[in-house]
Amino acid sequence: MDQTLPSEIQLSVVTPAREVAHEKVRGVTVPGKSGYLGILPGHAPLLSELQAGELTYERESSTEYLAVSRGFVEVLPERVIVLAEAAERAGDIDTERAQHAKQRAEERLRKITEPGIDRERARSALDRAVTRLAVAARMLK
């Protein structure tokens, strides 16, 4: 039996609207529901929910950054499939839009005193906006 581990992973990042990434990579880090998951070739199969956060992947000579919203990740030894409600590459993020979304969400959170669904919705919107701003800032570093 061949015991050698694969050296690359086929990464697919898909949203309802489009395929944001489809390439062979050296490693991927995804924002799992209970924390960031580092995935290298040969990883044991797993299925996890995602939270809004930064998805990072390593190419041969560069690192790519994406903002992803809620979704799922399926890991297989040679494949990682991310199904996300929204995903944007760092360079495609409209920072002004994200800044406005952040302000709107913060304003809503300031007004809500009772716990409830609206608080959760505003909190999620804030998480998405903060993630987008953080990922966009990667372009400046």
Residue from 17, 44, 117, 140 that binds ligand ATP (CB under 6 A)?
A: 17
Q: How far is the CB of 4 from ligand ATP (least distance, A)?
A: 38
For residue 93, state whether it binds ligand ATP (rule: CB under 6 A). Answer: yes
Say how many C-beta atoms besides its own lie within 10 A of residue 13's C-beta.
Answer: 25
How many chain residues are in contact with ligand ATP, going by CB under 6 A?
A: 13
Residue from 94, 107, 118, 120 that binds ligand ATP (CB under 6 A)?
A: 94
> What's the Cα-to-Cα distance from 68 to each of 33, 113, 135, rounded to whole Å?
12, 29, 10
Handedness of CA 131, 105, 86, 76 (dihedral sign): positive
For residue 88, state whether it binds ligand ATP (rule: CB under 6 A). Answer: yes
For residue 109, state whether it binds ligand ATP (rule: CB under 6 A). Answer: no
> What's the Cα-to-Cα distance from 27 to each of 19, 36, 40, 63, 80, rounded to whole Å?
19, 13, 5, 10, 10
Comparison of 37 and 67: residue with beta carbon closer to ligand ATP: 67
